[in-house]
Amino acid sequence: PEIAEVDIRNELQVIKESMSSIVVLNCHSAHGRSILKQAADMFMMNLGYVWITTDSLTAVAQNLALDDGTYPGYLNGLIGTAPALASVNGFDSFQDEFIRNSGDGSILNIWSTTVYDAIDLAYHACRTSKIFHVDEGKASCSTKTPWERGSEFLGVMKSVNF
């Protein structure tokens, strides 16, 4: 749903009435700000409650900022997960190259590592399997024709070990 459509006050009321003091919030980052605001309006972000959010909200702090770039006081004490980033299979050199070529000096964020992992997985699957060849003349991102060997390629990707 659109951010304006997210209304979980009924669900929050059930949590409040259950006297649960620890709430785990796993939601799309676009909805998190709205959900936490509704919880604050219901006095569920006050002392006595612990909110643990997943990395979709806390890995990129800007997701929770107000439109003017500030952060509402009710977020004090919010606990969130963030995936550990390790130096894996050339990611550091990829990041260095990205920074050199980005033009604005921006660095990769947590979601960029997911894209990197997906591309790296596809690369390893192609490299380890000699059966795949893409005819550049036939490759297109705009057609809806299924790839004849897509299921086979998916199977190869599932067997890749890093």
Which pLDDT score is estimated for 103? Answer: 61
Q: What is the pLDDT along the chain (162 residues), one digit of tens a residue?
A: 555 568 999 999 999 999 889 999 988 877 888 899 999 999 999 888 999 988 878 777 777 888 888 889 888 878 887 666 555 556 677 777 777 777 655 556 656 667 777 777 887 777 777 666 655 556 566 666 666 777 777 788 888 776
End-to-end CA distance of the chain: 37
Which of 23, 109, 37 shows the shortest CA–CA distance to 66? Answer: 37
Q: Is the dihedral of CA 25, 28, 29, 34 positive or negative?
A: negative
Which pLDDT score is estimated for 81? Answer: 79
The three-point CA angle 47-57-83 to 5° equals 110
The three-point CA angle 123-125-131 to 5° equals 115
pTM score, whole prediction = 0.54
Which pLDDT score is estimated for 120? Answer: 78
Which of 72, 64, 6, 79 shows the shortest CA–CA distance to 40? Answer: 72
The rounded distance, in Å, linking the Cα atoms of 109 and 102 is: 13
Q: Which two tokens stand for residue 83?
A: 């995936």
